[in-house]
């Protein structure tokens, strides 16, 4: 693949330490967001109810209802993503400690999805700056910082995953678990 590799995490820690730190921080942030978003949804639902009851025009009520439903669907998807990310982060920390690359795969996929989501957020912020004005500059800056951190975490975790795969392959070769063609059992059919 064309994914760049690194030898160290933050130029001073081993990839294993970095992978464990990334998994641990991701677990903490994912748990915080997975529990924080439903609280935000409750606050927004109360605000929606107050605004909805104060409106008299049916078109404005309909538009507000559509925006609220879209917001709730996005919040539900984001909460689901964060819940899966908690599982992936825990598997990542276990995989790093036990040197099991298979446990890291889900986290790598979740990081890739996170990079795509950050790209979409950054694009939305740029569109917001163009259409609405400078209000979205802060959103763009935060989105770009998170995007850079996600890309770096992806590169580090993928480098560690690749290292674990290579070490496991080397150990298999050294212990002789790889069978040659002569050692593979053959089926023998008996003829009458």
Per-residue pLDDT of 155-169, as tens digits, reads 999 999 999 999 999
- What's the N-to-C CA distance of the chain in angstroms? 53
Tell me how far apart the alpha carbons of residues 126 and 135 are, in angstroms, rounded to a whole number.
Answer: 11
Quick one: tokens of 109? Answer: 């996929």
The predicted structure's pLDDT at residue 118: 92
pLDDT (tens place) for every residue of the chain, 192 residues total: 688 999 999 989 999 999 999 999 999 999 998 888 888 888 888 988 888 888 888 898 888 888 889 888 988 998 899 999 999 999 999 999 999 999 999 999 999 999 999 999 899 889 988 988 787 898 899 999 999 999 999 999 999 999 999 999 998 888 876 555 555 555 555 555
The predicted structure's pLDDT at residue 1: 60
The closest alpha carbon to 75, from 46, 126, 40, belongs to 40
């Amino acid at each position: 693949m064309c994914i760049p590799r690194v030898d160290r995490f933050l130029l001073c820690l081993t990839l294993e330490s970095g992978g464990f730190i990334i998994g641990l921080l991701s677990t903490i942030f994912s748990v915080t967001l997975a529990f924080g978003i439903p609280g935000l949804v409750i606050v927004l639902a109360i605000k929606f109810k107050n605004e909805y009851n104060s409106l008299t025009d049916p078109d404005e009520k309909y538009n507000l209802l559509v925006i609220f439903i879209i917001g709730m669907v996005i919040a539900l998807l984001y909460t689901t993503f964060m819940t899966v990310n908690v599982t992936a982060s825990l598997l990542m920390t276990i995989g790093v400690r036990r040197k099991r690359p298979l446990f890291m795969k889900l986290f790598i996929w979740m990081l890739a999805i996170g990079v795509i989501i950050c790209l979409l957020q950054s694009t939305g912020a740029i569109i917001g700056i163009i259409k609405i004005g400078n209000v979205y500059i802060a959103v763009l800056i935060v989105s770009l910082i998170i995007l850079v951190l996600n890309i770096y975490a992806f590169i580090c975790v993928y480098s560690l995953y690749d290292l674990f795969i290579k070490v496991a392959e080397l150990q298999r070769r050294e212990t002789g678990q790889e069978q040659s063609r002569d050692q593979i059992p053959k089926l023998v059919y008996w003829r009458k």
